Amino acid sequence: MGSTLVETININAKDFTEHFLTCSTCINQYSSDSHEHQPKLLPCSHTVCRQCLEHIVSSQPRSDAIKCPICREHILLPRGGVTSFPPSFLVNQLLDLMVSQRRDVIPKCDSHTNEELLFCETCDKIFCQLCDQHQISAEHTVVPFSLAIKRMNEILSFKASKTTSCLDHALELVNNEIHRLDSSMDKAAEAIDRSFNEIKSYVENRRHNLLQSLKTTRDYKLKILNDQLNVILNEKSKIEIECSAFQQASDIHVLTQRIQELNDRIERMSLLGEPRENSFMKFEFRHNHALQDLARSLNSVGRIRVSSTYPPLCRAKIESPVANLQCAIHIETVDYNGNVRVDGGDPLTVNIWDSYGKLCEYDLYDKQSGSYTIIFRPLISGNHKIDIRIFDRPISGSPFIVDVTKHNNPLWSFGKRGRSENELSMPVSVIADDRNEREQVYILDPGNSRIKCLTIDGKFIEHLGKKIITCKY
């Protein structure tokens, strides 16, 4: 059977090191960090470690030349000795490459120990070429298992990085919501203070009115009592003057008459002896149910408004928009568990931009049932961007890109030019009446001096008011 094999070259690290990175004289591995085993390049293009070259120099009678241990060519020593031979640039590069490259372990088949494992990406199976448990077809993609592991590790690393990025974004959003929570609490606390300061002002006004009423009552009573005092003082003064005038009188009849008059006055004065007004004033606090009513009212003043709306699950249904025609957007809110919300009051933020980036006007209606309706009238055609947020967080799918068309697609059309029951002469206005079960459509046709009445699906019913419609041209 044929199969799709991805060819790769696997190099045995041990064999590669023995052939290219090992000194053939002392069988030690070259090292760019160790002075003894530094690779030195000879003029004959062979590479020998520094330690072996120093040993060769010390063992030969001539100190100005040596023989290459590999090709036996005579090589003159430079003035600086062995250290002056140039380093083997190629060997050093290979050493750096082996250090930087990952050492992959090539897994072998358990049943066939000399066979490298393969991996079928199509059916997710591991096998070797001698295994008969897996049937390979031309549609399957087979790669070495070591390459599959490397790919999986790369995918894992990418997915982990992406997941970490998503978690970082989630952390940012949650922290922002925590900051907004503190800000909301501060604003609500300020609103509570303002509201109860207003209540305090009502209480203070009532206290001031009661004190003013108390003072007014005192002044009224005081005036009556002062008036009575003046009357008493006037009477007293009169009596003193009269008594002073009659003390020298000698006419017994006159004195007797004055005594009788004083007796009459004394009887009348008994009324002046009692104050016409009393000093009783008392503040009553529990004379009615006002205090209890006030306590109950205060217990019901204000509330802490919260919402369980979860913006990422809330959805919007946008009607097909047409330029210059009214378009509605219906929003249904749900909570974190997907349950439909049944009350309103959520703070919605809506922005609608036309194809030129200009903000469009709209009206927002809260149905107080968890549903909201946005009404706007696009003035031009083209793509419009609609951003809908709750708690300053976008709802599902927001921002939306909607295409506003120039012309609408009517549900039905009616009539042509003429005067028959299915024809129109100069229609200027149309209105639908859905106030009762008989939904009807009325078309004002002054060209034929009549109003045409149709069913809701465009069937002719009758003509109205032909004689009362007049047009002057």
Q: Would you say 380 and 298 are in contact if contact means Cβ atoms under 8 Å apart?
A: no
User: Position 36: which residue type?
Assistant: E
Nearest to 316 by CA among 295, 294, 290, 334: 334
pLDDT for position 172:
93
- The count of C-alpha atoms lying within 13 angstroms of the C-alpha of 4, restricted to the half-sphere facing its C-beta, is 7
CA distance 30 to 19: 11
pLDDT (tens place) for every residue of the chain, 473 residues total: 444 444 555 566 677 777 888 998 898 888 877 778 889 999 999 999 999 988 888 887 777 888 898 898 988 888 888 888 999 888 988 888 887 765 555 666 667 766 777 778 777 777 777 776 556 566 777 777 777 777 878 888 899 999 999 999 999 999 999 999 999 999 999 999 999 999 999 999 999 999 999 999 999 999 999 998 998 888 888 877 777 766 666 667 777 777 777 777 777 776 777 888 899 999 988 888 888 888 888 888 888 889 999 999 999 999 889 998 889 999 999 999 999 999 999 999 999 999 999 999 999 999 999 999 999 999 999 999 999 999 999 999 999 999 999 887 777 888 888 888 888 888 888 888 877 777 889 999 888 889 999 988 888 888 887 554 444 44
- How many of the other CB atoms lie within 10 Å of CB of 70? 14
Q: Would you say 362 and 374 are in contact if contact means Cβ atoms under 8 Å apart?
A: yes
pTM above 0.75, yes or no: no
DSSP β-bridge partners for residue 352: 386
Are both 13-100 and 311-404 of the same fold? no
Q: Would you say 314 and 395 are in contact if contact means Cβ atoms under 8 Å apart?
A: yes
> Which helix H or strand E contains 317, and what residues bound it?
strand 315-318
- Helix %, strand %, coil % for the chain, to 5? 35, 20, 40
145-246 vs 252-272: helix axis angle to the nearest 10?
170
What homologous superfamily does CATH list for 311-404?
A: Immunoglobulins (2.60.40.10)
Question: Which architecture, in CATH terms, is 13-100?
Answer: 2-Layer Sandwich (3.30)
CA distance 51 to 74: 18
Torsion angle in degrees (nearest 10) through CA of 181, 184, 189, 192: -130
- How many of the other CB atoms lie within 10 Å of CB of 229? 12
CA distance 463 to 447: 13
For the chain, first and last CA: distance in Å? Answer: 91
pLDDT for position 472:
47
CA distance 204 to 207: 5
CA distance 247 to 454: 118
- Give all strands (DSSP E) within 333-446, no chain letters: 348-353, 362-366, 371-376, 382-390, 393-394, 400-404, 416-417, 423-424, 429-433, 440-445
* Residue 230 to residues 135, 236, 238, Cα–Cα distance (Å): 132, 10, 12
Q: Would you say 58 and 90 are in contact if contact means Cβ atoms under 8 Å apart?
A: no
- How many of the other CB atoms lie within 10 Å of CB of 173? 11
Query: Exposed, middle or buried: residue 377 (CB in 10 Å: 0-12, 13-18, 19+)?
Result: middle
Can you give the residue ranges of every domain in the chain? 13-100, 161-272, 311-404, 416-464
DSSP letter at 340? B
